Every structure is written in structure tokens, then in C-alpha cells.
């Protein structure tokens, strides 16, 4: 099977969540034989934005973070991390801009094929995120993994793939790829509405056949009813265990509510499992 993970990008803001994300990236790099890039973004403040909009090419040094200090911190992370890698291949970059846009730009220009974002709980049932996984996945067409600090990303026992009213080819491809390496069970979860019941059942069976034809992983199937995929999946995970979930951005991740898109109310904030967000074909 084609190697899907080669270059991992880890946004680093020097918080505990990003420190844990680097640790998880090393685990993934060792398991999938990948390189790692640590990306720190110097956020543009209003004065810097005004200077750029007025055509100034140089920005007062006092207006930005101390670049040499930031580079020292990144170098220290690399020094502490390299010894844990089977094939030490880790580098760092510092760029100026907004987090989402800089990550998107870096992915598109450097052939990154996995973005790993750390998450930290702010109170039970919700986590703060400094990046929008849906936006990054949709703009880059590359997978984005959100990883809670207390969850592992290797030696997976189960991979959950929701199936709705179309064949989730790309989700299945990544699910098979990760399940084969970990000898994990693939759980197919049909999320049905009254209108899509027949289609959901049809694509559930088709997904089963596709997996069965391409790997010998154990497959489980289950059906639930929900008018919102994110809510249905969230409720399912409150009663069942999964080490990783694979979702399409948008309707499968967005929680209900008029302002969900504006305030970034996505399922990745509310569930305990790591999520691989990836666009459909």
C-alpha cells in the first residue's frame, strides 16, 4: 500500500499541549518512518499589520518576539527529541503571520502530508484549540490530526469511521493504512437520518466490502440515528471506546447551532478521542 505519512508538521507555541504534540509526532515518525518539522508563528500585532498594509518592508524589531530566543527554544526541543527518533530527521521554522494561514501556506509549499495539533483541556468536556483543523484540512486537502495531551497515537486498538450517505473512500484508505500497521479493529459507524437510511445502509455494506478486499483487519459495524453527524458521533463515543476517529471536515465535524462556524464549534473540541480530519475525494 502507498506510504501516506512522510512529513509531519507540528505547530509549536511552547505550551504543554505543543510539547505533548511533539512527543506524539516522534511516536508517529518512528512508526511510519517520517520526518518532523516544528513550526512557530510570530503573530502579527496591530502595529505590524498596519506597517505591512502601508507597504513597509521592515518592521521595528521591538514589535516582534525575540527571534533568537525562539530559535534557541526550538533548537532545545530538537536536541531533546532527536535521540528518541529511530531516524533523526527533525527541523524547525519560524514565520510571521497568523497561525492558520501560516500552517496552510507551509503545508502547501513544503509537501507536508500530516499536520499534528496538540490539545489541552480547559474544563471537563471541552478543549481549547489555537488552530482550526477543519479550515486547514479543507484548504490544504491534507489530513490534520488533533491529539489530546493524554491520548496515544500509536499502538491503536480501534479506528472509528462514520459512514453517511456517500462512500468515504479517503477515510477508508487512511483507516486501512493505520489499522494494518497497528493490527487494529476498524469500526464502521453508520449515521442515518430518516431520509438517508437506505443510502447509509448501502454505503456501510460497500465500505465493509472495500475494507475486506484490501486488508485482513477485524471489522465491526453499528448503526445510529442522528440528524447531525457530529452530535451522533459524540453521543456514541460517550458510551463506546475508540483510539482514533476519522472524519470529513464540515457537516461531519460541525456541532449544531447558527454560530457554530463563526465560533469554531467543532467536534474535535468536545470528544476524548484523537481525530484525523480529512477531506473526501
| pLDDT for the residue 251 | 86
**Which domains occur in the chain, in start order?**
7-148 (3.40.50.620), 158-277 (3.40.50.620)
| pLDDT for the residue 204 | 97
Question: 84: which 3 cell numbers?
Answer: 528518541
| pLDDT for the residue 54 | 58
| pLDDT for the residue 126 | 43
Listed in sequence order, the residues at least 6 apart from 123 whose beta carbon sits closer than 8 Å to its beta carbon are none
Question: 167: which 3 cell numbers?
Answer: 462512500
Q: Which residues of the chain have pLDDT under 50?
A: 57, 63, 123-128, 259
Cβ density class 37-59: b for 16+ within 10 Å, e for less:
bbbbbbebeeebeebeeeeeeeb
| pLDDT for the residue 125 | 44
Amino acid at each position: 500500500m502507498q506510504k501516506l505519512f512522510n512529513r509531519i508538521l507540528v505547530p509549536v507555541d511552547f505550551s504543554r499541549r505543543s510539547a505533548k504534540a511533539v512527543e506524539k509526532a516522534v511516536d508517529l515518525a518512528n512508526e511510519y518512518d517520517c520526518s518532523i518539522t516544528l513550526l512557530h508563528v510570530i503573530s502579527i500585532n496591530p502595529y505590524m499589520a498596519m506597517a505591512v498594509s502601508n507597504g513597509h518592508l521592515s518592521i521595528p524589531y521591538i514589535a516582534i518576539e525575540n527571534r533568537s530566543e525562539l530559535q534557541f527554544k526550538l533548537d532545545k526541543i530538537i536536541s531533546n527529541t532527536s535521540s528518541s527518533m529511530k531516524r533523526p530527521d527533525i527541523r524547525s521554522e519560524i514565520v510571521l503571520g497568523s497561525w492558520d494561514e501560516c500552517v496552510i501556506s507551509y503545508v502547501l509549499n513544503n509537501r507536508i502530508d500530516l499536520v499534528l495539533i496538540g490539545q489541552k483541556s480547559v474544563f471537563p468536556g471541552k478543549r481549547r484549540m489555537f488552530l482550526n483543523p477543519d479550515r486547514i484540512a479543507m484548504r490544504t486537502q491534507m489530513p490534520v490530526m488533533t491529539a489530546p495531551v493524554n491520548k496515544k497515537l500509536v499502538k491503536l486498538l480501534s479506528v472509528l469511521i462514520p459512514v453517511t450517505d456517500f462512500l468515504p473512500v479517503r477515510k477508508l484508505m487512511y483507516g486501512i493504512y493505520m489499522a494494518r500497521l497497528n493490527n487494529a479493529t476498524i469500526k464502521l459507524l453508520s449515521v442515518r437520518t430518516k431520509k438517508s437510511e437506505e443510502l447509509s445502509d448501502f454505503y456501510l455494506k460497500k465500505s465493509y466490502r472495500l475494507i475486506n478486499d484490501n486488508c485482513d483487519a477485524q471489522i465491526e459495524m453499528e448503526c445510529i440515528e442522528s440528524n447531525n453527524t457530529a452530535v451522533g458521533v459524540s453521543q456514541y463515543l460517550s458510551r463506546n471506546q475508540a483510539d482514533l476517529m476519522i472524519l470529513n471536515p464540515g457537516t461531519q465535524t460541525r456541532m449544531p447551532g447558527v454560530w457554530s462556524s463563526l465560533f469554531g464549534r467543532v467536534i474535535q473540541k468536545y470528544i476524548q478521542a484523537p481525530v484525523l480530519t480529512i477531506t473526501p475525494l
